[in-house]
């Protein structure tokens, strides 16, 4: 027993020594290393949800091949503001950043064979077709995992791979509705509004997809085994509804539209300023409200317990409280309000338009806006890379590529195709 304990101690010491050695490796010995360096991703998704997951991976070092139809391309190329580069939109240039465009017609046998061979040499495959589409081309999970047992496959659809709605079309607007978010958006008694003109649900799905891939890659690292991730876009939306499922399950409580405020706190909403701008103020407890009325508004009498000092009283007299705050914010400019509330430690933020964001020094200081130049389009400004890692921050090296720009390069380098083979594939319109 003593000998076994000594051996265990020795093993522990060796492991600790190895850990210390690895920690002592200097940055100079690992130039430009990013967390996902060496990870190869084949992205055959369209629009945003699936491809956004691969975009995130590409920002942190993964090599991403975006597979598109040779003639039609990803329809996302036409969504948004068109540019002079064959109509590719600004949305495409931004969201297809860091990717290589490879054109393959998956519907023909030779194209399916090329795709399977490419996936066999990848770590991750991302797809967002309706359930059964890849299977109809002989490229489902069964076939791809047989070609690559360690494959991690992200499958993002509107409603998931199972369930009675699995074949329904899925878009962010529908995910907002079905997932419960749109019902909550707008003012009481009025038509529910779209939560955001941007496809918020697609971006949330992409984030959950990227998280799923990273967890699956960790499992593969430990076991050598691949797996697929099944994500319905509505699920990414539904997961954001805090306690609503619990409140309905326990009390039958249905949360309704609350306008620009919330039923759980007041003042907690959007307030217009003297110069026609808007601010968000969030006083979620009595101390915050006291700081607002005493220090920022110079109305300490409003904090009396028999008036508005207690949360219960404020909630019961919501309209009165909001009216008082609205009157005050309407007497000052946004900059004046920000100064007073920040000095009083009252939670406040400006409601920024994109013009406000471009002018804001905080966005600039954190490199939240990246300026890149494209040969035909010129300078394009895109959102930066998030989150910010201290030792291996992500980066953007290129904007969304022209259709098929990297087809020959990738198929030659990865699959070893000769120039004559590539020429034949082009002639047959496979690529």
202, 230, 322, 408: the active-site residue? 202
The answer to whether the beta carbons of residues 374 and 14 sit under 8 Å apart is no
Residue 205 structure tokens: 């799905």
Catalytic-residue membership of 319? no
The count of other CB atoms within 10 Å of the CB of residue 243 is 11
Q: Is the CA virtual torsion 97, 103, 107, 113 positive or negative?
A: negative
Encode 103-135: b = buried (16+ Cβ within 10 Å), e = exposed. Answer: bbbbeeeebbebbbbbbbebbbbbbbbebeebe
CA distances from 328 to 89, 298, 392 (A): 43, 10, 46
> Is there a cis peptide before residue 66, judged by omega within 30 degrees of 0?
no
Give the whole-angstrom CA distance, residue 178 versus residue 158: 10
Which residues pair with residue 82 across a beta bridge? 89
Q: How many Å apart are CA 388 and CA 405, to the nearest integer? A: 30
Residues 267 and 321 sit within 8 Å (Cβ to Cβ): yes
Strand partners, 378: 374
- Residues tagged active-site: 202
């Amino acid at each position: 027993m003593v000998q076994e304990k000594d051996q265990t101690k020795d093993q522990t010491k060796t492991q600790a020594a190895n850990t210390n050695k690895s920690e002592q490796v200097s940055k100079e010995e690992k130039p430009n290393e990013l967390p996902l360096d060496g990870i190869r991703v084949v992205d055959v998704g369209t629009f945003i949800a699936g491809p956004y997951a691969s975009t995130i991976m590409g920002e942190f070092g993964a090599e991403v091949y975006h597979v598109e139809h040779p003639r039609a391309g990803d329809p996302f190329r036409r969504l948004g503001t068109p540019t002079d580069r064959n109509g590719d939109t600004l949305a495409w240039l931004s969201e297809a950043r860091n990717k290589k465009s490879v054109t393959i017609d998956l519907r023909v046998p030779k194209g399916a064979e090329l795709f399977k061979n490419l996936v066999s040499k990848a770590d991750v495959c991302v797809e967002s077709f309706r359930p059964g589409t890849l299977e109809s081309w002989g490229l489902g999970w069964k076939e791809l995992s047989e070609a690559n047992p360690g494959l991690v496959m992200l499958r993002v659809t509107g409603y998931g791979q199972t369930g009675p709605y699995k074949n329904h079309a899925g878009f962010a607007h529908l995910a907002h509705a079905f997932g419960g978010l749109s019902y909550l958006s707008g003012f009481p008694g009025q038509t529910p509004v779209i939560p955001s003109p941007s496809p918020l649900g697609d971006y949330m799905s992409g984030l959950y997809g990227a998280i799923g891939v990273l967890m699956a890659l960790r499992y593969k690292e430990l076991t050598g085994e691949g797996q697929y991730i099944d994500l319905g876009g509505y699920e990414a939306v539904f997961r954001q509804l805090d306690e609503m499922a619990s409140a309905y399950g326990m009390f039958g409580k249905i949360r309704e539209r609350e306008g620009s405020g919330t039923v759980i706190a007041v003042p907690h909403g959007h307030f217009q300023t003297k110069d026609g701008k808007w601010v968000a103020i969030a006083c979620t407890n009595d101390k915050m409200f006291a700081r607002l009325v005493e220090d920022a508004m110079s109305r300490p009498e409003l904090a009396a317990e028999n008036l508005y000092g207690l949360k219960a009283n404020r909630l019961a007299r919501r309209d009165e409280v909001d009216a008082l705050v609205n009157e005050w914010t309407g007497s000052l400019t946004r900059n004046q309000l920000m100064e007073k509330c920040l000095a009083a430690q009252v939670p406040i933020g400006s409601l920024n338009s994109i013009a406000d964001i471009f002018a804001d020094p905080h966005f600039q200081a954190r490199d939240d806006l990246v300026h890149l130049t494209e040969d035909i389009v010129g300078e394009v400004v895109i959102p930066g890379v998030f989150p910010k890692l201290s030792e291996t921050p992500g980066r953007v090296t290129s904007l969304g590529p022209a259709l098929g720009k990297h087809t020959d390069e990738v198929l030659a380098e990865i699959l070893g195709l000769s120039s004559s083979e590539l020429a034949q594939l082009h002639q047959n319109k496979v690529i």
